[in-house]
């Protein structure tokens, strides 16, 4: 199958790298470990080639990693409640925490794109493309 190439914001690239890194670290999807490692290596090389080496971007990227890790932990806790059929106060608290973590992740992604001057900016929950013809 041919690779599918699409334009995307820098935050999408960095977020995908973080997701793949977390999969490798947690051992999730063991049967796909080599594919995940290969995908991450390809995206790492792309990021190295196209993104600036910038201390501030490194700090934001670190916060993206932490936010994605926290979101993953909350999702695992929610799934455990679901499997046990527990939908009381702890489930509601976890759901609220998950939504807050998701909002924090979205804010960090927007910060990455703003920092790099990406042509895609979040507006509400939908991405709107600014005119890119002039860029």
Query: What pLDDT was estimated at residue 29?
Result: 62
- Higher-pLDDT residue of 99 and 123 is 99
CB-CB contact of 51 with 10 (8 Å): yes
- Which of these, 39, 52, 67, lies nearest to 115 by C-alpha position? 52
Q: What distance in Å separates the CA atoms of residue 31 and residue 46, rounded to the nearest whole number?
A: 25
Of the candidates 26, 77, 14, which has an alpha carbon nearest to the alpha carbon of residue 51? 14
pLDDT tens-digit map of 112-125: 999 998 765 554 43
Tell me the pTM.
0.80
Q: Where are the domains of the chain?
A: 10-129
Mean pLDDT of 51-69: 95
Residues 74, 101 contacting (CB under 8 angstroms): yes
């Amino acid at each position: 199958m041919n690779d599918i190439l699409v334009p995307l914001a820098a935050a999408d690239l960095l977020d995908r790298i973080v997701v793949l890194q977390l999969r490798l670290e947690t051992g999730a999807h063991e049967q796909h470990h080599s594919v995940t490692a290969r995908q991450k290596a390809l995206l790492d090389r792309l990021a190295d080639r196209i993104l600036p080496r910038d201390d501030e971007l490194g700090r934001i990227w670190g916060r993206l990693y932490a936010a994605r890790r926290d979101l993953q932990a909350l999702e695992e806790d929610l799934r455990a409640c679901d499997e046990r059929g527990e939908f009381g106060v702890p489930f509601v608290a976890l759901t609220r925490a998950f939504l807050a973590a998701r909002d924090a992740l979205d804010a960090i992604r927007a910060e990455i794109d703003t920092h790099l001057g990406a042509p895609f900016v979040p507006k509400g929950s939908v991405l709107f493309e600014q005119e890119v013809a002039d860029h």
